[in-house]
Amino acid sequence: SDSPLLREIARLRELTFRRVGEGTGKRMDTDVYDSWYDHIVLWDADESEIAGAYRAVPCARVLDSIGQKGLYTASLFEFDGRLLPTIERGMELGRSFVPPKYWGSRSLDYLWYGIGAWLGQHPEIRYLFGPVSISANLPLEAREWLVAYYTRYYGHAEQLARSPHPFRPGAAAPDFGPLDAEAAMPLLRDRLDALGAR
């Protein structure tokens, strides 16, 4: 895009993702979706710079104008047709970042305030969803623990969204026993801390 704001978002997104072992390797992290998605931007007025951003879109708008292929998540997952009514009432979020200068600040909290304000303008939205990256820089065991936790407590038995390249945990995937999600979270945190994955 020719938008200076979108170019700066793409530049900061790339720099931020590189710091955590991700990124495209290009000067800017941008794609075709940036042009038709909304961008929720956190602006630091004192420094006159971006302190974070989220990409968001009401899915019905994209489905009506472009079709399912216009959703970023459709490039990552195969959606079961039964999921479409939920997607139509949803907002896809993703490509969020907080530049390293603002790590440890309340930037992510403020971005979520922005998402809340955005939702206030879109009362038709009932669901929030989007992809999350787990850095390859994390130890394999840490990634296995994260995937095991979220699959067990928040996965859907019918897998209405399938990845063509699913994560394959090792033979010794963690077992949370009879614990519920809340009781298992401290166990997950302790294990991630022990693995140096924070």
Q: What integer is the mean pLDDT of 50-65?
A: 97
Task: Note the pLDDT tens digit of each residue in 23-41.
Answer: 899 999 999 999 999 999 9
Are 123 and 149 in a shared domain?
no
Cα(first)–Cα(last) distance of the chain, in Å? 35
pTM reported for the whole predicted model: 0.86
Last residue within a domain, chosen from 129, 150, 180: 129
Number of domains in the chain: 2
Last residue within a domain, chosen from 82, 105, 129: 129
Domain that residue 145 falls in = 140-194
Q: What is the pLDDT of residue 138?
A: 87
Residue 142 CA to residue 131 CA, distance in Å, equals: 18
Report which of residues 169 and 181 the model is more confident about. 181
The set of residues, in sequence order, having a beta carbon less than 8 Å from that of 76 and lying 6+ positions away, is: 131, 163
Task: Note the pLDDT tens digit of each residue in 117-152.
Answer: 999 999 999 999 999 888 888 898 999 999 999 989
Task: Kindly tell me if the per-residue pLDDT of 198 is higher than 80.
Answer: no
Are 33 and 112 in a shared domain?
yes
Q: What is the pLDDT of residue 107?
A: 94
Are 146 and 119 in a shared domain?
no
Report which of residues 69 and 155 the model is more confident about. 69
Task: Kindly tell me if the per-residue pLDDT of 1 is higher than 70.
Answer: no
Confidence of residue 13 (pLDDT cuts 50, 70, 90): very high
Are 125 and 144 in a shared domain?
no
Mean model confidence pLDDT for the chain: 93
The set of residues, in sequence order, having a beta carbon less than 8 Å from that of 80 and lying 6+ positions away, is: 158, 159, 160, 161, 162
Task: Kindly tell me if the per-residue pLDDT of 60 is higher than 70.
Answer: yes
Q: What is the pLDDT of residue 23?
A: 87
Are 183 and 118 in a shared domain?
no
